[in-house]
Structures are given as structure tokens and as C-alpha cells.
Amino acid sequence: MALGSIALVAGSVLLLIEHASLSHGALKGEVVGVLGVLFFGTCACVAVDRLLRRRPELVLSSEGLMHVVLGSIAWTEIAEVGIREIKVRFRSERVIELVLHDPAAYLARAPRTARIAGAVTRRMGYSPAMISVGTLPVGLDEVLAAMRRHHPELAIRE
């Protein structure tokens, strides 16, 4: 993701350079170029930060889970765990959906990034607490098995 974002920043910069050399009709291309640099530059920063940080993506314990984006969620807050396939452009992405007893209470205390993403996913009909399987260093089966070990009563819908 980091390399792709960096490549798209470079493409956006090239678009800006190309349209800056034109004397007419270049405003649309310049706007697209600036937006591309801002958006993909942010994506690149986030991706590089995730590569360089020294903390785990997901930690499971007998009390609950700690996710790098979602923050802390106790097992008592989770009604069930489900696996979903969400279409993202040309591919599908598997996510672990944490169906919460009280989504509004979670969103009120969640980290800012999780609140923003959670509000969007909630409007789409999903839980505000979802973990992308692609960001985890281990497979889905291993994560689900660890969840069952830490909280045997947890309902898991596959």
C-alpha cells in the first residue's frame, strides 16, 4: 500500500507539472493533481507509519481486544463476531465485524479515526467496529481461534 500510494503521489505531481506548463484549460488538471497529492500523500504517510511502528495490530486478552485503530473493546461489549466480504473497487476484502451491544457508546469513546470510519460503516449497515483481515500478521482462522480461547462464550458467525 505504501509503494502504491507513493507511486500515485508521483503521478499526481507529474500531472501538476504537465498542466502547469499549459497556458489554458489547465485548472481542472491542477485541481485533480493537488487533490491526488493530498489524498495519496496522506495514504502513504499512514501506510509508512503502520510499517514502522513497533506495536502490534491486534492484541487479544481475557478482558477483550486492543486494536491499533479501534482502541480497546471489552468482550462484554461484543454481542457477536462475524466475517464479511466487502467489495472494494475491483476486489473483495474480508473483515472481522465486531457486532456491539451498544454501538453509540463505543463511538462516543472510540479514537477519532475509529469514530469517523465507524460512522461511515454504520451508515452502510455494518458495525462501527471492523478489522480488516489483510492488515493482520496472522490468518483469520488463527485470530478466530484465539478469540475463542480468550472468550469461549463468544458467538462467532462465519
Q: Which tens digits make up the pLDDT trace of 49-94?
A: 777 776 788 999 999 999 988 999 999 999 999 999 887 677 788 9
Q: How far apart (Å, rounded) are the C-alpha atoms in residues 23 and 25?
A: 7
pLDDT of residue 101: 96
Query: Do 11 and 76 lie in a common domain?
Result: no
Q: Are 136 and 70 in contact (CB under 8 A)?
A: no
Residue 38 · residue 84 · CB < 8 Å: no
Residues 33-39, mean pLDDT to the nearest whole number: 85
Same domain membership, residue 77 and residue 138 = yes
Residue 24: predicted pLDDT: 58
Q: Both 44 and 66 in a single domain?
A: no
Q: Would you tell me how many other CB atoms lie within 10 Å of the CB of residue 108?
A: 9
Same domain, 63 and 46: no
Q: Are residues 147 and 88 in the same domain?
A: yes
Give me the percent of the chain exceeding a pLDDT of 90. Answer: 45
- Mark whether 24 and 88 lie in a shared domain: no
Query: pLDDT (tens digit, 9 = 90+) per residue, 11-33?
Result: 888 877 777 666 555 567 777 78
Range of the domain at 41: 2-52
Number of domains in the chain: 2
Q: What φ, ψ does residue 69 adopt, rounded to 5°?
A: -100, -45
